[in-house]
Structure 1
Amino acid sequence: MLNQLKTLFNAYYKLDCHRVIGGTIMSVFTSREKKLIKYLSQRDAWVSSNEIVSFFGISLRTLRSDVKNINTSGSYILSSNQGYRIIKKTKEIEELLQDKDQPETSDENNRELIILKELLISKQPLDYFDLANSLFISEQTLLTSITALKKIIAPYEVTIIRRKTTLALKGTEKNIRRLFCDMVYKEAENSILNTAILNAFFVDIDVFEIKNTIFKIISEQQFEINDFALNNIVLHVCIIIDRNKYELQPELFEMKPALLDADSPSQCAAQILARITDKYDFKASRNDFDSIYALLLISMKKIGVKENYARLNEFVEPSIIRFVKKLIVEIYNEYYINLDNDEFISNFALHLNNIINRKMSLRNPLLTSIKDSYPTIYEISVFIAKQIQDQYAGIDMNDHQISYIALHVGAQIEKQTLTKIKTVVINPEYLKLNALIYSKLETNFLNDLSITMVSDESELAKIGSKNIDLILTTMPLKGYYTCEIVDVTVFISQKDIETIFAAISDIKKKRMMENDSLLQYFDGTFCYFEHAKNYEEVIKQLCATHKELDDDFLKRVMIREEISPSEYMNIAVLHPIQCDEKSTFITVGIFKKPFRWRKNDINIIFLLSVSQKDKNNFLKILKQLIEMFSSSRWMAHHSYINTYDKFVRFIKEHK
């Protein structure tokens, strides 16, 4: 759905483009304007307005607007009571028409963006006829644009309703805010999200004052925050103000002292809400508090982490700290993800302490986006939740609690870490150049490499060669390694950079071929569900296809499902929590019609069994399944796939 929004914004930004033709600066014409120029250039006589309107399917008002826009760059089209004609085929027009590289803008995309923006920002329903007139389009064209726009915003569970002569958005406050937020971010993609962009959206709000207020509150709590994260919080606060000012909110929220004492993010969220509700005169909802709290939790960093870690025993019971350290070892053993650092131990121990001792149970408004966007991180968090549940009886580790755990885990694992190329750089300590090497690699390969520095070859054993994709070394290696190895100089020359780029390219090509290797795990078992009663029956039916599976396997799958539903968007991946089965296999089930799992409608389901030997591939398999079968290509083809052979063909073609 974000890609569809992105298409709208790309078209919108092209309207500001200009180019030089024949020494004259000319506006970039829309595709329809170019077609109009071509159409008139092929005619030697006057062409009536009725003929043009009929040919292009536009209104007379739109035709006049297009001619006016074209003539803003010079006199190209004559108009009279006889109609329209090109003045003469000038060199500029011929160059323009022959230029295949000229960027075109989409009138339809731009129009849909304007409509969406107006609906989101408007405080009252929009008049249907006034909107059509302001866009210089016919009522039928507006209806077509609204129909297209409904499809784009449907994944947000928001729609456009028409009552008599007015238009308005219909959806929950939470979903409309999510749409609003994505819209602002997509507009900011052509630059960095900043206060100037926010000011353009929220004309009635003093964005600069809000930003300064939030920064001051965070600083007073002895925390720090980077500018991007701060702007992100400012955006959400502005949305809260904008929509609360003009609409009544349910679940009005009272700041209880017990909650305000919970932790610093809670105190900051409460203070921010107190300031903005007082200034803009509205009542905050529980959802408002939870939204700000969730963002602060992942964005704020305590000044002096090492000092805080040293004093952790003053705030957290020693048994909880020991449990967190034990948990880190179990996470590494199960997923080969290393969370062993002071910052994670401090932050997560404090969070767990709050859950256990204060029985905190916050709602997380970011739950759906966290689960759908970062399924592997969420899966690790389900594992953590199960360990907490086993250790501390009576703690309710629901989806919202799990999503907060995911925020802590995700803060330590960069968004791309699981897809970045895991790289180890070997450089002897006596050369004293590790900082320089790391800086150069980060500058050139920030989005591609996840880098670990070691001083000699013996340290590779601690990391585990299976978990390394690429080795960059400044010294000869004695051992044999199956991953890519690149010899580099200590100064990382331009030649080194080119060689590393080539190695990265080779690794990415191999990864693209892994879709075929995914097939090795499918055992040929295929279920086609024309009718299904409930999710329990589906699970039992999938497990029943394997006679070697005992009741204990089914029980462990059900336990995982009860902790948190295994659905991700339109797909469900069933599996026990731990990877210690006798063999690795994947069984697939496809639904003839969308089937309501727990919260989502799904069209495909997998039963995944992973052996101890293959457990290091579990997250990779999970990620591949979700990416492949939540893709737009799958959504377009799934209704035609009703046999195992067709399913296999889809995987082979999905590159």
Structure 2
Amino acid sequence: MYLNDKRFLKLFKLLSNSKAPLKSEEICEKLDIAPRTLRNDIKKYKSIFSENGVVLVSKPGVGYSFEIFDKDLYYKFIQEIVKNETQGQYLIPVYPEERINYLIKLLLSTDNYIKIEELEEQLFVSRSTLTNDLKEVRERLEYYHLDIENKPNYGMKIIGEEFNKRACISKYYFYTDTYDTVVLNTVKEENKELINKILYDTITKTDFTLTDIGFQNLVIHLVIVLMRIDKSIEDEKIEDIYKNLEYEKEFKIACLLVSKLEAQFNVKFPKKEIYYITIHLLGKKSLQYSNDALAISQDTQDLMNYIFKHIKQNFKLDFSQNFELFTCLALHFQPMMNRLKYGLYIDNPLIDKIKNENQLAFEISLYVGSIIKEVKKFDVNVNEIGYIALHFALALERLHEEVRSKNIIVVCASGAGSSQILLYKLKQKFKNYINNIKVAKLYELLDIDQSKYDYIISTVPIVINTQIPVINVQYFLDENDVELIKNIFAENENDYSFINEYFKENLFFKDLKGTTKEEVLKNMCYAINKEIDIPLDFYNLVMEREEMASTEFGNNIALPHPITPITNSTFVAIGMLEKSIKWDKQQVKFVFLISTQKDNTESLSLFNESITALVFNKKAMVKLEKEPTLENFKDIIKEMAMQERENTIDNIFE
């Protein structure tokens, strides 16, 4: 019944939109009612407010205000109001993320100015809430080189290049599927199907291949072109960089595609639209590993060699002999360079997952991005970095497997049959852990170069001195033998000495101060410098890495670090804030500032895996918060390390 009570709705909106308490005279003036009427209304409406997640608070001399005690009930009630006011359609968003997407779509949908007062009324939010939302909107638009222009007495609107607006439309209209009907003229499904068919026929006829995602993205681009054909820029403004596209084979394909679209939809494409389509074809074509490996340009090969050389110097990882990684990355780079050259934006829905679950691969890829910027002068955005990281993640996993693999000498004195049984069982149980097996007789051990092997597995006691460890087993390899070999193979990876080596009491800061990321990191670097020697530009290098991609990882954790290894030792400084702060997008309370020793050659895999495990373990961080001591943290990190190692062993031997 209250959804049809206009005075109730006006009072509810007024209190919802106000950040500060409202005095009774202000409310009476805005609602055009007498004070006595207001008092009666408040008494009448108090219970309905409470039933829907808010308490009406009255403070003498201050005024009336809402306190939300159940956001889900409150937002659900707003949806009911909106549904009622819009004849049953859910048009207006109420949750912050929905509001941000809605605002971007709304601003993209018009070239006219929109007043902030209209948005306040429309979205049921206060000026301060809307201002915060618009700050986030600006940050997201910045990725597409777009901005919001504010004009006094007129309002606000998006400004920027048409090409960039279309890239943003592609993301926010077609990859988020809520509230589109508010800001987007309905695209006829049959038109989309026609575009799909025309594109497929064109690339088939010209023997051109697109990735599946590239195909769908180009369909979406063409839908947007037909929506905004009247926004096209005149041909006389075309720059030379676009005219050079006419020498590409993709330009001829774009011309053929456009001629078919013009005939089908009875429109005329300006020449610049053909250039835009050419850029999409260049940036999203599919290069096949088998057919195109030989077609990798010399320029790309030189860049790859330069990248691998510098990865070896900075990360102590040698990929120079990894032909598969070289080829896959090179084939990935060629269309990527076209995307970067012409400012073609791609979306990466897996970016957070990639960053969280493949931290080393992501760090290497950020470094690769900095090399590309140095050599090619292209800014590599974080979405592109994520796709590069997938290639390195696979290469690192294979590298890890190679490191784990052991070369074994098998000694069995019971005869050839027994040797074959033992050999078979070893291969069956440890196929993922053994690289090379040599079967030898006991007396042959003296003539074998044992330095090329890791272990001797023998069914008989060996009394002679050996250069490598001996594992005594029974020839039929029972469960105890399997467990023994399993533990010995993995023992070199079970070194938890890094816990005491990297985590020190003097670098454990329980009362870290700061209200912004920059302030927190500056205070932390200052505190570290009081305890140990660090380079003068340490803070700047930490911030340089932060600017490339945020180091927030969820679970209230940030893992900042210098962009390159620069300290004389590896250490982790732990900072705990009294109250969590917004780092970039997420809240952070625990800061683990990691610095890796320059010219470090030791493996940090277990250390990295253990730190990463904290990101996914809420109980561990609650435990640290309840008992914020270094010893407690060491216990937690050792538990993480043991779990990670056990998981690794289980995966190897399953």
Output the TM-score relative to the length of structure 2.
0.47
Please identify the structure whose Cα radius of gyration is greater: 2
Output the TM-score relative to the length of structure 1.
0.47
